[in-house]
């Protein structure tokens, strides 16, 4: 069951400035364990805060029904029903499945202020969230394909 939250930019800023909701569980592994589990590209993006090149990710143009989960810990993060084409070059979503699966951090790298989004369970870097998405939330969670995996609906 998806519990859509109707988050907005003020919620994102509150979490980025005051801390994110507590995760249901925490997954912690050593750097060598992450390297053994992930491809070099997945490791670079999720564990070293990298970014894939625009329009190159596996899920940029995906339209299959299902849930997108963290590639590192398999926590469900986004539902395909709230995925949209932002024309940004990365998969984009309007909000997470629940309010405690995403961690929000103020990011002042690259000479700008943004809000980084991470998996709240394992601290995997996912991407960033911006206040230029469609209604009703107005949010655009801009996510690296290498940080997520699609678990397709079985049709039942």
**For the purposes of burial, counting CB atoms within 10 Å of the CB of 110, is it exposed (0-12), middle (13-18) or buried (19 or more)?**
exposed
**Cα-based distances in Å from 137 to 12, 78, 82:** 11, 14, 10
pLDDT tens column, 87-125:
999 999 999 999 999 999 998 887 888 999 999 999 999
Residue 76 has pLDDT above 70, yes or no: yes
Residue 44, phi then psi, degrees to nearest 5:
-60, -40
Give the pLDDT of residue 19: 95
Residue 3 has pLDDT above 70, yes or no: no
pLDDT tens column, 124-150:
999 999 999 999 999 999 999 999 999
Residue 4 has pLDDT above 70, yes or no: no
Work out the average pLDDT over 62-80.
Answer: 96
Give the pLDDT of residue 125: 98
- The CATH code belonging to domain 24-152 is 2.170.150.20
Residue ranges per structural domain of the chain = 24-152
Residue pair 118/107 in contact by the 8 Å Cβ criterion: no
Query: What value, to the nearest 5°, has the Cα angle with vertex 130 and ends 126 and 131?
Result: 150
Known catalytic residue: 119?
no
Regarding predicted confidence, which is higher, 5 or 32? Answer: 32
| Residue 1 banded pLDDT, cuts 50, 70, 90 | very low
């Amino acid at each position: 069951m998806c519990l859509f939250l109707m988050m907005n930019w003020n919620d994102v800023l509150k979490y980025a400035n005051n801390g994110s909701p507590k995760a249901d569980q925490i997954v912690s592994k050593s750097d060598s364990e992450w390297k053994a589990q992930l491809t070099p590209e997945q490791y670079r993006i999720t564990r070293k805060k990298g970014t894939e090149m625009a329009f190159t990710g596996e899920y940029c143009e995906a339209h299959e029904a299902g849930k997108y989960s963290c590639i590192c810990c398999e926590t469900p993060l986004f539902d395909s029903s709230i995925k949209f084409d932002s024309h940004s070059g990365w998969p984009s979503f309007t909000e997470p499945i629940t309010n405690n699966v995403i961690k929000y951090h103020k990011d002042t790298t690259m000479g700008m202020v943004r809000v980084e989004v991470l998996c709240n369970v394992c601290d995997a870097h996912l991407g960033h969230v911006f206040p230029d998405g469609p209604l009703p939330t107005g949010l655009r969670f801009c996510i690296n394909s290498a940080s997520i995996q699609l678990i397709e609906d079985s049709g039942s």
